[in-house]
Amino acid sequence: MDDRLTTDEYDALTQIGNAARGERQSACVARNSKKLNGLKFISHARDGQLTLTEKGQQTLFLKQCIEGLRAVSTDALAHLSADVALFLGKKGHITRADDGTFAITQRGSESLADIDAASKH
């Protein structure tokens, strides 16, 4: 089964991850919960509450990293969350200058090119 998600499905995952306990589901979440559950990105509790699985959390984090890498490639002053900046730095995709700006490395550029090539298939 293909684990590629649409923008709407990513939005639903984000909403589930940010939802307060007992909060009513949005139409976006209701529309996508069956597929996300089937792909093991979310789980249903007995009380009907939806929660992200570890796979769902990792998927959202990966999406944040890709978006962060794209942002740095176009703007050295791009804001990155601390965990995304730390991860991308440890993996050698970005470097941080003394003035707080970021720069994408050759490895980061190659990774973005690979991601773009894979998404076109």
Q: What is the pTM of this model?
A: 0.85
Report the C-alpha gap between 82 and 67 in whole angstroms: 14
- Crossing angle (nearest 10°) for helices 54-74 and 106-119: 120
Among 37, 27, 29, 51, residue whose Cα is nearest residue 1: 37
* pLDDT tens per residue, range 59-111: 999 999 999 999 999 998 999 999 999 999 999 999 998 888 999 999 999 99
64-119: what fold? Arc Repressor Mutant, subunit A (1.10.10)
In the chain, residues under CATH classification 1.10.10 are 64-119
Q: What confidence tens digit (pLDDT) does each residue in 48-59 have? A: 789 999 999 999
- What tokens appear for 45 in the block? 């509790």
Helices 54-74 + 82-90 axis angle, to 10: 80
